[in-house]
Structure 1
Amino acid sequence: MDKKRVFTIPQVAEHKSKEDCWFIINGRVLDVTKFLEEHPGGEEVLIESAGKDATKDFEDIGHSKAAKNLILKYQVGYLQGYNIQEGNDSNVEIASNKESRPKEMKAFVIKDDLVPKYAAFLEFFVPLIVAAGFFSYRYLTGAAQFSS
């Protein structure tokens, strides 16, 4: 089949059986009917995604470079509305109408509080020392009343 053919989502959705299994990965329409028995995860996994956009499922699994190259082997066309960037044959990136996400990881740093580390020590022990002093004072003054 011509890899330049353009398909719509309803056209791809018509191919969702074991005898005719198509799905979409990164804007590429794939006919994986012949690959069902060879798939290491079993044919059920592929049939479950048949007729749909399986990009998220494909990327969540973390496929090898060889698996990503198989996309080109089983490709029968493109999804309407996607613009595929063809750098080399193993490039599977797309530029779609959707907002592109940055490829680096984002993280945030939890900064230490500006309160010194001994402040927690003081917050616990100062009230304890005050309470101990109060009860000691009450004990000693109470004992002094009985002895006089």
Structure 2
Amino acid sequence: MPTLTKLYTIQEISHHNTQEDCWILIDNKVYDVTKYLDEHPGGDDVVLAATAKDATDEFEDAGHSESAMELLESFCIGELDTSSPAIPELEISSKKQSSDYAWKLTDLTKHYWAVPVVAVGISVVLGFLYMRKK
């Protein structure tokens, strides 16, 4: 009977990015390397910098030995769910919503037109009073 592989989204993986809970993603496989951080020859900061993203390039660029790759497999907890998008879909506002915003803006300008008119009116009255004294 084949073992079922747990699938994780990139968002789920990105939440495990601390020294107390550290997951990395390499070649679409998810690894919980929390217990290995203190033993990592390059230091835990190198591994922590590779969390919350696909760390395949960083792992390959480091030139890990065959034994390091075998050790990594012992930390495998699942795979990346490639069926879900890496970036969540953005909600596109409808034209009705944008016209609602325009209506609200127009409504606000109707309510507050008096403020600049009063300021100009006071300035004109003060100007006339000043000119009258001379």
Q: Which gives a bigger RCO, structure 1 or 2 (Cα 8 Å, sep 6+)?
A: 2
Q: Which residue of 1 aligns with 2:30?
A: 29
Moved runs in structure 1, 4+ residues, more than 4 A?
A: none
Distance 1:69 1:3 in 2: 21
2:125 is matched with: none
* Percent of residue pairs identical: 42
Tell me if structure 2 keeps the 8 A contact 1:15–1:22.
yes
| 2:21 counterpart SS class | coil
Pair 1:29–1:3, CA change in 2 (3 A): farther
Q: TM-score normalized by structure 1?
A: 0.52
Aligned length: 81
Unaligned runs of 5+ in 2: 84-134
Q: What residue number does 1:85 align with?
A: none
Q: Which has the higher helix share?
A: 2
Q: Cα gap change, 1:17/1:3 in structure 2, threshold over 3 Å: closer, same or farther?
A: farther
SS at match of 2:61: helix
Structure 1 residue 51, shift from structure 2 partner:
2.2
What are the superposed Cα offsets for residues 4-26 of structure 1, whole Å, 9 maximum, x if unpaired?
10001000001001100001011
Computing the radius of gyration from Cα coordinates, the structure with the larger value is 1
Question: Structure 1's 3 and 39: CA in aligned 2 closer, same or farther, altered over 3 A?
Answer: farther
Query: How far is the alpha carbon of 1:50 from its aligned partner?
Result: 1.6
What TM-score do the two structures reach when normalised by structure 2? 0.57
Counterpart for residue 123 of structure 2: none
Match in the other structure for 1:19: 20
- Asked whether the equivalents of residues 3 and 77 of structure 1 are also in contact (C-alpha less than 8 Å), the reply is no
Query: 1:1-148 counterparts in 2 under 5 A?
Result: 4-81=5-82
